[in-house]
Amino acid sequence: MAEATEKSEAVVEKKSGGANVLLIVIATMLGLMLIGGGVGAYLLLSEDDAVIADANSAKATQTQKEETVTPTQAPAKSVRKSDFTNIGPMYPLDQFIVNLFSEDGSRYLKTTINLEMSLEELATELDAKKPLIRDIIIKALSAKSYEEISTIAGKENLKDEIVANVNAVLKDGKINNVFFTDFVIQ
């Protein structure tokens, strides 16, 4: 009888010992899978950022090369009237914060704009049409990509576009120039 009791105790010990080993193996495998998944995700995500950064730097370099003006090239004609020795009255606008045009929508622009008016009396018309003017400017800003406005030439083209579009809706005077007093792309 003592022999039967010893065998049953041995069987119980083997069963519980096997379950503990199995539990340890499963826990170890799950831990390794989680660690492997985390490392894999990190490598994939950081690799995508590196590829995007390389592509953006290549585009920026190409854009800078294209914008380099040789002595025989004349700069593009601007629609803005610029007499920096005699600046006209200014019309300040509230700050603009817009998403820039991109596939992933990850960049935005924060800017503050002042409009140079041809006449002081134009301020009355600008006050009356302020929502329309802000809408025109928001559309112009959000239609641009980072690559288009990150350069000086891109900012100058944006100013020309804003002047032309705002002047199209004005009757009492014209906007001579646009001044960015704050321009942050993130």
pTM of the model: 0.57
Q: With beta carbons less than 8 A apart as the criterion, state whether 123 and 117 touch.
A: yes
Instruction: Give the mean pLDDT of the chain.
Output: 80
The pLDDT, as a whole number, for residue 43 is: 72
Whose tokens are 């001044």? That residue is 179
Determine which of 1-15, 51-65, 94-108 has the lowest per-residue pLDDT on average: 51-65
Q: With beta carbons less than 8 A apart as the criterion, state whether 125 and 89 touch.
A: no
- For residue 165, pLDDT over 60 is answered with yes
- Smallest CA-to-CA distance from 135 within 104, 162, 102, 108 is with 162
Please report, rounded to a whole number, the percentage of residues in the chain having pLDDT higher than 70.
69
Supply the Cα-derived Rg of the chain in whole angstroms: 33
The pLDDT, as a whole number, for residue 3 is: 57
Please give the CATH topology (third level) of the domain spanning 90-185.
Answer: Tetrahydropterin Synthase; Chain A (3.30.479)
